[in-house]
A and B are shown apart, each in its own frame.
With several copies, the nearest count.
Chain A
């Protein structure tokens, strides 16, 4: 394909676009000892501005994205990212502020952050919120570290086990391990709820807490949540809420009211900050009163009309700092703007319409003959279709289905997660898609199943209409090619 790596392949002696030159700059950087200087120029691309613009513009067109495609990716909440959030968070005054600027020159942004903290508290029912974590996984880490700090502060140092349902996101156990805990899995019952008996057997004096998503990753609201909370609390453990699925219940049910002690939120999911091809996210944490001393820094507090930062010195029990400069501020601003545009009513509507879309899509797919993993349950904002019959009867698997969906202009739902459902498609339409999108998706699914029956090869070789055909992941891992190198050196 012409243009690929054109950037790095251009000759090194090419002149630099002067538009980016720093005039007056001399390459004889005075005072730098020769021994510490670079000997060979780095093999960076050497291209003109037009070449770069054209290259990256064309690359962008090879992506699916919310702005171009329906993206029913379960557990990822791929909804519309309002353009206003981008432009207002990018106002010159916000972009220019240095992270170490004094409070006297920071009241504008601090007001936004403070109000965001307050809104997140209100909508989750938590007592305190820190915006510091840079993404959901970092929020999880902060959350479990706070659980640990809580037990440690009480001298309850034998509580070294975190319970995690087998349906949980992989980040849950990974975060628990990073916080120095052991992980014990709790099975999910046939109805999709946590196996409460298994939970009762699992809790004990070693229990530090449980990490739960509710609605869970199987797309249902765990009806026993109160029993779960009592069980864990009675055993001396704390409840951690994985906010990945908060979109489903935003403003309808509050994690704090369910009995959770600590929660992280994925602002790039529930609060519609951009996914950006894999970040940046933001993973604020909320806590009940007893965990408040441990919140990660910095926090914004208000004193009269003035806002102040609280850092390590002000909060000696804090689990500390998670990034150098306090978090993904530009993302927090976007979430703030989005939350203000929604308001309380709009937040409730998020849950209403994401549930409506999910249940409608589920109903239509069921009618179209697809098998649901939990047919007796309401969908939350997402639900699971299992293609095990299609796999058995037509010899095509979920990945084949997924790749064929790309050909029809639909991003694939989440595949093979949660692991406990075979040939699993986790489907989350979100509230910002219209009925036409959902109906189109049902049509595509139906067509593909007919294709699976009649010409399964079509699925197995899919995609056919994308910039590339199916990519060889095994080869990628075996013959590692992770960076381009100039010809002479390799």
Chain B
């Protein structure tokens, strides 16, 4: 029996101890009419060998196309040590470290993760992860509204150049909390958000401003100016940042005069494979003043009975298992295993390693967009500095172009049209450090051919039939 260790003798002895005849007797308190008759729809069990065959075929089926999509999830090289250690049974199959003395491994990892994230973001404290970047932003929004004691307004400014899926996620999660999400348009030439646009959109009081850096288009925002503007209006500032980019870019804690108040984002670039979108890792950092509004688990350093240093979960009075309906969030299980991977990944790379990765990605993406813009009709969509990815205008419908490329096993980027119809035909491209010059050439050549075909086809030719 798969995963059941009992021998027949064991079962007999155990039933005798309990004082019943058959295992099924143990369910005698369940009204008989409720007992499940059959489980049509659940196939018969298969062996490990058989399911291996199925999964290998399916993994192969999806192939490994040449991918130039970024848009919030990035393919980076992950040192082999990261997952070989992360999947050790002691990390993989451990529970949440509520019994601190039996969980010092996990707890120290959490503490190190928090240390590294505060170092990267330049803020004071970090929690030990949330589900992903988008849900972390939702928690950041809720937290900011709770934490802002100067402004009672439940309005939060959310720029339109923030990742569309993040905007949708925030909307789903906060919709019943009486929060008003105000969309701020972006500058059509630069792709960034200006103070003028913010002024216009804000209208009156608001609790918080969200600043993505870089924004969804890869465009860099003038974070210092925006931060000071919001702080002048007693609003809190929430930075949404890419942790790899932070190796080179100014950390939220340094934005403007006082620094952003909260930073959150997607930890996937820190050692998580793309894996179809998850499990990833949301992070959330803030200034010390807001630590009691921070949702999620937090590890702290303390002493044991012998005065020796050790680690434990702390500030649990914020959490649902203690505070129940008064908790800062309902979150409970988070992304512990990914925290472990991210921590090991950062330890292996160090600050300089992360800088090199960031610089390599940036250089590669610039090279890619320069190459592609050699193709007639392809040009940058925005004129402001970008980091790590770039939005391009295409001379043909994006969906068609991407479909043609996909047929050649190239995933050419993220189609901006569905989320930004005003920009159509537009494409967001990205080339991380794992893409080679050959890869870039292959993309360039294929795109040039596809566009040549497409633009010719646009010429008014009468169908022959």
| B203 in the interface (beta carbon within 8 A) | no
Contact with B along A14-33 (1 / 0, CB 8 A): 11111111111111111111
Of A41, A63, A356, A477, most buried by chain B (CB within 10 Å of CB) is: A63
Query: Residues of B contacting A68 with CB < 8 Å?
Result: 89-90
Contact B77 A137 (CB under 8 A): no
Besides A275-B94, A279-B335, A353-B4, 8 new A-B residue pairs in contact (Cβ under 8 A), listed by A number: A22-B356, A63-B103, A96-B64, A96-B274, A268-B333, A276-B91, A321-B168, A323-B131
| A417 in the interface (beta carbon within 8 A) | yes
Q: Show 10 A/B contacts (Cβ-Cβ < 8 Å), sorted by A.
A: A62-B105, A105-B406, A258-B34, A276-B336, A296-B172, A327-B277, A344-B42, A351-B27, A412-B99, A431-B3
| B321 in the interface (beta carbon within 8 A) | yes
How far is B242's CA from A396's CA once the two chains are assembled, in angstroms? 49
Contact B29 A221 (CB under 8 A): yes
Q: Which bucket holds chain A's interface residue count?
A: 35 or more
Q: Which bucket holds chain B's interface residue count?
A: 35 or more
Q: Which residues A456-490 have CB closer than 8 A to chain B?
A: 461, 463, 466-473, 475-477, 479-485
Query: Residues of A contacting B108 with CB < 8 Å?
Result: 4, 59, 62
Contact B42 A123 (CB under 8 A): yes
- For A64, the closest partner residue in chain B by CB is B102
- Minimum distance in angstroms from A431 CB to a CB of chain B: 6
Q: Which residues B237-266 have CB closer than 8 A to chain A?
A: 246-251, 254, 266
Query: Residues of B contacting A23 with CB < 8 Å?
Result: 46-47, 50
Contact A339 B42 (CB under 8 A): yes
Contact B2 A411 (CB under 8 A): no
Q: Contact partner of B323 among A12, A170, A412, A479, CB < 8 A?
A: A170
| B442 in the interface (beta carbon within 8 A) | no
How far is B427's CA from A351's CA once the two chains are assembled, in angstroms? 51
| B31 in the interface (beta carbon within 8 A) | yes
How far is B32's CA from A221's CA once the two chains are assembled, in angstroms? 13
Contact A105 B278 (CB under 8 A): no
Query: Residues of A contacting B84 with CB < 8 Å?
Result: 83, 86-87
Contact B327 A279 (CB under 8 A): no
| B80 in the interface (beta carbon within 8 A) | yes
| A310 in the interface (beta carbon within 8 A) | no
Q: Contact partner of B132 among A17, A44, A323, CB < 8 A?
A: A323
| A220 in the interface (beta carbon within 8 A) | yes
- Minimum distance in angstroms from B123 CB to a CB of chain A: 9
Query: Residues of A contacting B433 with CB < 8 Å?
Result: 22, 25
Contact B357 A25 (CB under 8 A): yes
How far is B120's CA from A41's CA once the two chains are assembled, in angstroms? 9
Contact B132 A325 (CB under 8 A): yes
Contact with B along A259-297 (1 / 0, CB 8 A): 000000010100010111111110000000000000010
Query: Residues of B contacting A97 with CB < 8 Å?
Result: 62, 274-276
Query: Residues of B contacting A65 with CB < 8 Å?
Result: 89-95
| B372 in the interface (beta carbon within 8 A) | no
How far is B114's CA from A482's CA once the two chains are assembled, in angstroms? 7
Binds A, one of B67-75, B145-153, B183-191, B228-236: B67-75
| A134 in the interface (beta carbon within 8 A) | yes
| A92 in the interface (beta carbon within 8 A) | yes
Contact A49 B99 (CB under 8 A): no
Contact B331 A94 (CB under 8 A): no
- For B96, the closest partner residue in chain A by CB is A278
Query: Residues of A contacting B1 with CB < 8 Å?
Result: 15, 17-18, 346, 349
Contacts A321-B169, A482-B114 given: A105-B411 contact, CB under 8 Å? Answer: yes
Contact A122 B41 (CB under 8 A): yes
Query: Residues of B contacting A480 with CB < 8 Å?
Result: 125, 291, 300, 314-315
Contact B278 A52 (CB under 8 A): no
